[in-house]
Amino acid sequence: MGHALTNLTPFKHDWTREEIAALYELSFNELIYRAATVHREHNQPEHIEKAVLLNIKTGACPEDCGYCSQSAHYDTGLEREQLMPVAEVLQAAAQAKQVGAERFCMGAAWRTPPASAMPALIEMIQGVNDLGLETCMTLGMLKEEQAQQLSKAGLDYYNHNIDTSEEHYGQVVTTRNFNDRLETLNQARQAGLKLCTGGILGMGESRADRVSMLQTLAQMSPHPESVPINRLVPIKGTPLENAERINDEEWIRTLAVARILMPKTTLRLAAGRHELDWAAQALCFIAGANSVFYGDKLLTTPNVTTDEDNQKIFKIHAAS
Ligand code: SAM
Ligand code: DTB
Ligand code: SF4
């Protein structure tokens, strides 16, 4: 699949924190209305992208991300697995294609991909592209050469979340810093990859941190092509296991503000969706979310089931 340049540049990139905070403080009605208006001006409101996730390498990660089931620093009871064979990945991708996925996102619990894995990763990208799916990978930090290799193989998107604000980052991860994240995003973009980058809500951050995180995303020029907004899926054994959950309203507000700041970005109502009822999800879509993770499993935790999504969100009735 090629790298058609997406034109996200004519939008505003110099939102101040005050302006962003003021959007958050609008009445709920007004905020949703404004976000929905921007959404309808720039996107097809009926379309919700289906992105299917597959964890291609599980656990034993040297990073200490306080939210993650796959960090070797915490005892989360997760069984470690080596890099999946290419054939198995392609089989999963073919299944995803069959159920209507548009994008296939492959995740690996690495700080950075080892050189020995590159040939297999390249085969995966080519195989998934050949199925007619968009390809996304999330493999940790990339050096210039690695980003170039992935791009050359035909990778469409690189996912690398900034996760939270620069100010709060050190409370969540200590084995790398916020700037390391921006550096990898920069390498990915330089190599011609589209960016998928967003964050996780409910990691003990304040509203000001959420404002700051959105400002960082909106400052990127062009805007990231994809922005996933996750709500923390609490993992037993991690430092954030008991973090206070943000309420549904704050998640919906965050999506709405993100839509106003980044009018054409594919905005994903990401992990944690299984805890939202139908009406709350509908509000997210009205406010401009236009993508979900589709499939029974996220990386290591359960998602909304495909059956439930087909009945409630996509209104597809299984053939009898
Ligand atoms: N190791 C790579 C990295 O960190 O970029 C790729 C895999 S990592 C699991 C991908 C992303 O999943 C993280 O950046 C984080 O935003 C998200 N994530 C991980 N655990 C999560 C959780 N418990 N709840 C919500 N999102 C989570
Ligand atoms: C993203 O923003 N969320 C996804 C994907 N990008 C890689 C991961 C969610 C993980 C949820 C917890 C788990 O299943 O381990
Ligand atoms: Fe490793 Fe990624 Fe999990 Fe952090 S989020 S521990 S880098 S797999």
**Domain ranges (residues) in the chain:** 17-318
- The full 3-state SS of the chain, as one line of letters, equals CCCCCCCCCCCCCCCCHHHHHHHHCCCHHHHHHHHHHHHHHHCCCCCCEEEEEEEEEECCECCCCCCCCCECCCCCCCCCECCCCHHHHHHHHHHHHHCCCCEEEEEECCCCCCHHHHHHHHHHHHHHHHCCCEEEEECCCCCHHHHHHHHHHCCCEEECCCECCCCCHHHHCCCCCHHHHHHHHHHHHHCCCEEECCEEECCCCCHHHHHHHHHHHHHCCCCCCEEEEEECCCCCCCCCCCCCCCCHHHHHHHHHHHHHHCCCCEEEECCCHHHCCHHHHHHHHHCCCCEEECCCECCCCECCCHHHHHHHCCCCCCCC
**pTM of the complete model:** 0.93
**Spatial distance between the Cα atoms of 298 and 151, rounded to a whole number of angstroms:** 24
Query: Class assignment of domain 17-318?
Result: alpha beta
Distance 40 CA to ligand 1 centre (A): 30
Is 245 annotated in the active site? no
What is the residue whose two structure tokens read 């050096």? 143
The response to whether residue 163 sits with its C-beta less than 6 Å from ligand 1 reads yes
Distance 203 CA to ligand 3 centre (A): 15
- Low-confidence winner among 28-32, 130-134, 296-300, 316-320 (lowest mean pLDDT): 316-320
pLDDT at 5 > cutoff 60 = no
Give pLDDT, residue 290: 96
Is 284 annotated in the active site? no
Mean of pLDDT values over 99-122 = 95
Task: Give the binding-site residues of ligand 3, using a 6 Å CB cut-off.
Answer: 61, 63, 65, 68, 70-71, 109, 140
Q: How confident is the model at residue 8 (pLDDT cuts 50, 70, 90)?
A: low
Q: Which residue in 261, 253, 29 sits closest to 269, CA to CA?
A: 253
Mean of pLDDT values over 186-199 = 97
Q: Which ligand is nearest to the CA of 291?
A: 2
Give pLDDT, residue 315: 75
The response to whether residue 184 sits with its C-beta less than 6 Å from ligand 1 reads no
Is 196 annotated in the active site? yes
The response to whether residue 230 sits with its C-beta less than 6 Å from ligand 1 reads yes
Give pLDDT, residue 1: 38
Give pLDDT, residue 312: 82
Task: Give the binding-site residues of ligand 2, using a 6 Å CB cut-off.
Answer: 53, 69, 105, 107, 138, 159, 161, 198, 228, 230, 233, 270-271, 298-301
Distance 245 CA to ligand 3 centre (A): 21
pLDDT at 157 > cutoff 90 = yes
